[in-house]
Amino acid sequence: MVSTLQEEKITKDILPPEPGLTAEELVARAVAMRGALRDGQAAAEERGTYSPEMHAAFEKAGFYRTLQPRRYGGYEFGVPVFSQMVMEVARGCPGSAWCLCLASGHSLNVAQLFGERAQAAAFGPEGNFAAAARAIPSGTATRADGGWRLEGTWDYCSGVPYSTHVMVGVRIVDEGAPPRPAVALVPRDQWTMLDNWGGFIGMRASGSNSVQMQGAWIPDYYLVREDFFAPDISQGTEGARLHGNPMYAGGTLGFFQTEISSIIVGLGYAALDEYESIVTVRKAFGPNAALQSQTPDYQRPYGIALGKLEAARHAVLGAAQEYMDLARLSMEGKRTYLRSDDMRLQAGMQQAAQLSFDAVDMLYRAAATSASAKNGTRMQRYFRDISMARTNPGLQFELKAADLAKQLFAEHEQSQAGKQ
């Protein structure tokens, strides 16, 4: 079988477009885009994703390369910087941030899980890369022609409109054994994006279309036999060995939750900005009424919401840094990165998202009906977006809490048994 995939040029040591770009400059660029993102919210909702012009602006700003290995044209800035960038984009347009984050962030997972040949081919000769991901194994992988034949449909592939690849969970079949989990990295010419994103209450700009594969084929190096949700990192990872950066030595859940919770915290700040714009021009009720911004009943919700959002922001950035620290200690052989570490980081960031939920709900109610509930208002859009986000599996902390406790109790019992 002749395939363009087999003829991909293996490259390495690609310089990023701006070798001297700093993390501070990258985040500042996201802040500077806030107005344009805010102005484009309605059109992005109608389109289902941000515009090609905004995509080009994100590319030029370096957002897609934030976590990408420097060896392959990225900036390799680290998870806390990525989190800050995503929060700022979400402060301009939450749906667009969801789409961008879940297309740009998974360069970390590629660099973590896949070998040198796959990485060099995927990141390509110029380092242009973006990949939606769907960890649930909604399709199959079967041996064929020296590689793998893929079949299936993966829903909610957020970020797929501008993705060069997708990363999907699959089940390996026809090997004389029960189906086994694996992760497949699939270039765009091997899948179809379905026109089925729409009809939801919120996050309409998130580009969460489904991806379908019928007779898709990938070479052997584009598949790893790992559970996407819980890869075996006990002996180190391909990425940590290849790049010498512990950022690529961590687990999956901690990073995945950083993506989602960063968006949600940015959404909360977007609602706070909108609330301020409302109360600084509207008057309170009553004779000789002052501006709402000068009235305690309207100042109070702002102050409480800001406090919740500050707590949430610090929680997410702190967890992002701890993710990096735990991965570094694991890579240095000083401490094992435990399954419970990943679950604990996820749990903390789920609670950070809950603080943002509370803040948006408070601001939505305080801004009153005409400013909050009317079609076309930003506050209504933020409320719809947060309502949609609440349904994401990664934000169902009640469902994950028992799993965390069970894991911790088991690890504690093993530790005690080892001391006896």
Across 137-141, 202-206, 299-303, 416-420, least confident range? 416-420
Specify the pairing of strand 147-154 against strand 131-134: unpaired
Residue 286 pLDDT exceeds 90: no
Whether residue 120 lies inside any domain: the answer is no
CB 119 within 8 A of CB 107: no
Residues 218 and 273 in one domain: no
Residues 178 and 271 in one domain: no
Residues 45 and 141 in one domain: no
Residue 392 pLDDT exceeds 60: yes
Q: Which residue, among 412, 252, 393, has the nearest Cα to 323 in the 3D structure?
A: 252
Question: Residues 108-135: what's their mean pLDDT?
Answer: 96
Residues 287 and 374 in one domain: yes
Residues 287 and 387 in one domain: yes
Looking at residue 3, its pLDDT comes to 42
Amino acid making up residue 358: D
**Percent of all residues in the chain with a pLDDT value above 70, rounded to a whole number:** 97
Looking at residue 177, its pLDDT comes to 82
Residues 278 and 397 in one domain: yes
Looking at residue 261, its pLDDT comes to 98
Looking at residue 413, its pLDDT comes to 85
Residues 204 and 285 in one domain: no
Residues 13 and 55 in one domain: yes
Tokens of 52: 């090609």
Range among 41-45, 248-252, 336-340 rated most confident:
41-45
Domain boundary among 228, 258, 274: 228
Looking at residue 370, its pLDDT comes to 87
Number of domains in the chain: 3
Task: Pick 66 or 414 by higher pLDDT.
Answer: 66
Sign of CA dihedral 153, 157, 163, 168: negative
Domain boundary among 82, 110, 138: 110
Separation CA 265–CA 378 (nearest Å)? 16
Residues 80 and 155 in one domain: no
Whether residue 334 lies inside any domain: the answer is yes
Looking at residue 88, its pLDDT comes to 98
List, for residues 96-105, the tens digit of each pLDDT value.
999 999 999 9
Residue 5 pLDDT exceeds 60: no
Whether residue 376 lies inside any domain: the answer is yes
Tokens of 384: 């719809």
**Percent of all residues in the chain with a pLDDT value above 90, rounded to a whole number:** 85
The residues, ordered by sequence, that sit 6+ positions from 211 with a Cβ below 8 Å of its Cβ are: 132, 134, 153, 154, 157, 160, 166, 168, 191, 192, 193, 194
Residues 210 and 341 in one domain: no
Alpha carbons within 13 A on the beta-carbon side of 115:
9
Residue 352 pLDDT exceeds 90: yes
Residues 297 and 413 in one domain: yes
Separation CA 309–CA 305 (nearest Å)? 6
Whether residue 74 lies inside any domain: the answer is yes
**Distances in whole angstroms, Cα of residue 326 to Cα of each of 68, 110, 166, 167:** 20, 19, 27, 25
Domain boundary among 79, 110, 141: 110
Whether residue 122 lies inside any domain: the answer is no
Residues 138 and 178 in one domain: yes
Looking at residue 1, its pLDDT comes to 34
Across 28-32, 88-92, 225-229, least confident range? 225-229
Whether residue 322 lies inside any domain: the answer is yes
The CATH number for 361's domain is 1.20.140.10
Tokens of 258: 């950083």
Residue tagged 């990073």 (tokens): 255
Boundaries of domain holding 386: 250-419
Looking at residue 420, its pLDDT comes to 65
Q: Which residue, among 139, 153, 164, 162, has the nearest Cα to 194 in the 3D structure?
A: 153
Residue 236 pLDDT exceeds 90: no
Question: Residues 354-375: what's their mean pLDDT?
Answer: 94
Whether residue 354 lies inside any domain: the answer is yes
The CATH number for 73's domain is 1.10.540.10
Separation CA 150–CA 141 (nearest Å)? 5
Looking at residue 12, its pLDDT comes to 52
Whether residue 60 lies inside any domain: the answer is yes
Looking at residue 174, its pLDDT comes to 82
The CATH number for 177's domain is 2.40.110.10
Across 216-220, 245-249, 282-286, least confident range? 282-286
Neighbouring C-beta atoms of residue 364, cutoff 10 Å: 22
Q: Across all residues in the chain, what is the average pLDDT?
A: 93
